[in-house]
Amino acid sequence: MEMIQFVHNYNDESTDRGFQFEFYCDRCGTGYRTPFKPSVTGIATEVLDTASGLLGGLLGTVTEVGDRVHSAAWERAHDAAFAEAVERVKPHFRQCPRCTQWVCVERCWNQTRGLCKECAPDVAVEMSAMQAEAAIEGAREVAHAAKSEEVTAEAFDEVIRAVCPKCGAPVSGGKFCAECGAPLTAEKFCAECGKKIPVRAKFCPECGVRQV
């Protein structure tokens, strides 16, 4: 088969009856399957099958061999069908000039940069990932700022929930809620007896006084 410069990752699903290929993106593995193209030689075999069915015996053995060994005509048709299939799916793929990978346009191609997303990551996607990381880092700092030896897993979870314990507004790190100014530390003390109590406690578990 002639060498066609394209996705090396593909599946040849061709049979005696026809040709079909599925090409995969080098980066995400998304597959593009070409429509089934019936083989003319395949149809010929089918005619022969019917004939052998009627005649039985010797002819049957002949077609069995024909099923396994592709004819030269089949091979030629197969090559042509492959070239056609490549032309058909090519618009869905781009070759990255930097890493030479063939990637799908839909998910793995950065149109603005003219590079694959491996070489030129999506800025918006990277930004939100970095923001999420920063938010976790912020929460971690808050948890550490509270007396580190007293930070329990629960207290940490409380902070990492990233909502204000008082008003429920979303918060992104920091020591105080931007909405209501409530402290965002993982600790709270009873207004009456001064014992440490859970942040969301409505009543002090020690003295029973209602908390604000």
Chain positions contacting Zn ion, by CB under 5 A: 25, 27-28, 30, 96, 98-99, 103-104, 107-108, 116, 118-119, 164, 166-167, 169, 177, 179-180, 182, 190, 192-193, 204, 206-207
The structure tokens listed for 205 are 């578990």
CB of 77 to Zn ion, least distance (A): 30
Nearer of residues 64 and 189 to Zn ion, judged by Cβ: 189
Of 7 and 81, the one with the shorter C-beta distance to Zn ion is 7
Q: How far apart are CA 51 and CA 155, in angstroms?
A: 80
Q: Which amino acid is at 188?
A: K
CB atoms within 10 A of CB 193: 12
Q: Give the nearer residue to Zn ion in terms of CB position, either 70 or 88.
A: 88
Shortest separation between residue 49's beta carbon and Zn ion, angstroms: 41
Rounded to a whole number of angstroms, the minimum distance from the CB of residue 35 to Zn ion is: 21
Q: How far apart are CA 61 and CA 56, in angstroms?
A: 9
* CA separation for the pair 211, 201 (Å, rounded): 7
What's the min distance (Å) between Cβ of 59 and Zn ion?
A: 48
**Number of Cβ atoms within 10 Å of the Cβ of 147:** 12
CA dihedral 135→138→140→145, nearest 10 degrees, is -160
Closest to Zn ion by CB, 142 vs 177, is: 177
What CA–CA distance (Å, rounded) separates 208 from 149? 26
CB of 147 to Zn ion, least distance (A): 19
